[in-house]
Structure 1
Amino acid sequence: MDRKSHASLLRGVRKVHRATGIALFVLFLIIAFSGLFLGWKKNSNGYILPKTQKGISTDLANWMPMDSLRAIAQRSLLAADVGLDPELDRIDARPSKGIVKFTFTAHYWEVQLDATNGDLLSVALRRSDFLEALHDGSILDRSLKVDGGYIKLFYTSVMALALITFSLTGFWLWYGPRVMRRSK
């Protein structure tokens, strides 16, 4: 490749790199900051992700039935804040801790119960779930009520392709001038 066509290629790569960077600048910042906070979630002293409590027994034979625990969790949520929807999303049983966590579909709150006696251990906001939804784009599916995660799929595909483009064009912006200097 001659020097002139090399320089032309380098200018084209620079334009693609700049245009992609300008177009996706805010989204990259959102991904970077939310990823940073998600990396720190277990070391945030319960601020980003509520601390997992401990129940009185890790023996599953002593645990209450799951439907009874669910009913207690929903009542506990309603007692903590009347405005929150008690529709259940997930149940996370932690046998090694003797607890069960309940998360809900319409908000980012959780209820932790002692699995043996149903005692309320914690009602807390899961900021990590919000950050995760922001990080992967599923917050748009949720807020626009789009089933199937299509916005998330599009968002993650665009961002992955942009990151690949940045990596390749960034490498060429670093390596291309070296090749041109060597061809003198």
Structure 2
Amino acid sequence: MTKQRSRVKQARILRIFRKIHRTMGAFLFVFFFIVSVSGILLGAKKNTGSFILPETQSGQTSNFEEWKSIAVLEQIAQQTLKDSVSSSLSSDIDRMDIRKEKGIVKFLFEKHIHEIQLDGATGEVLSIGQRRSDVIENIHDGSIMDDYLGTGGYFKLIYSVGMGIALLVFTITGFWLWYGPKKLRKTGR
């Protein structure tokens, strides 16, 4: 009788896990789809021929003593944006990515996805491109909704933690859906 109770209990647990797995899968399908597709794109961003992320160029020297000042490089980047991309775009700098070993500075702007790469020593424009990877990353981690709703990072926090918990629950229930029947067959012998 104990063996029979054990089988019944294992079968009940298996049904519960199957229901949790199925229900969560149906409820979170769209979110998992978005996270997986955006994750694939982010994983491939450096291998898309500069479509998702502009290729990092190389400057003349990595010696900072030979570089122009950051203020001068910033002016060049802002002027290049106005002259070569659009004078109507904001020239406010979001961040600068200094690649000393490559001898370049990447200028990224606040309100759009353009990037300008300059040679640190000469100020020569090495690349003007679009960082589609930033948009994809914002979709992937939920930041795009934070920006849209103005929630100050709370949507991203809830979204990221929720997706992490959902993935953990999917892993546990999925494992049990694979292992449970094996265990059930073993106890039936």
Structure 1 length-normalised TM = 0.93
Matched, 1:173 2:177: yes
Q: Match of 1:98, as an amino acid?
A: G
Larger Rg: 2
Q: Provide runs of 4+ in structure 1 moved above 3 Å.
A: none
The structure-2 alpha-carbon separation of the partners of 1:174 and 1:145, relative to structure 1 and needing over 3 Å to count, comes to same
Matched, 1:52 2:56: yes
Structure 2 SS opposite 1:51: coil
Q: Match of 2:90, as an amino acid?
A: D
Distance (whole Å) between structure 1 residues aligned to residue 97 and residue 9 of structure 2: 59
Distance (whole Å) between structure 1 residues aligned to residue 27 and residue 19 of structure 2: 12
**Residue 122 of structure 2 is aligned with which of 117, 123, 127?**
117
Partner of 1:19: 23
Where do 5+ consecutive residues of structure 2 fail to align?
A: none
Structure 1 SS opposite 2:101: coil
Q: Match of 1:115, as an amino acid?
A: G
Partner of 1:84: 89
Structure 1 position 127, deviation (Å): 1.2
Distance (whole Å) between structure 1 residues aligned to residue 16 and residue 82 of structure 2: 58
Matched, 1:75 2:79: yes
Matched, 1:28 2:32: yes
Deviations 1:115-150 (A, max 9, x none): 112222222100111111111111212233332x21
Structure 2 length-normalised TM = 0.91
Partner of 2:141: 136
Distance (whole Å) between structure 2 residues aligned to residue 121 and residue 133 of structure 1: 26
Structure 1 SS opposite 2:96: strand
Partner of 2:167: 163
Q: Match of 1:117, as an amino acid?
A: T
Which range is displaced more, 22-31 or 158-167? 22-31
Distance (whole Å) between structure 2 residues aligned to residue 61 and residue 146 of structure 1: 43
Structure 2 SS opposite 1:55: coil
Partner of 2:46: 42
Q: Percent identity?
A: 46
Structure 2 SS opposite 1:183: helix
Partner of 1:154: 158
Which range is displaced more, 119-128 or 166-175? 119-128
Q: Match of 1:63, as an amino acid?
A: W
Q: Match of 1:111, as an amino acid?
A: I
Matched, 1:4 2:8: yes
Which range is displaced more, 156-165 or 121-130? 121-130
Where do 5+ consecutive residues of structure 1 fail to align?
A: none
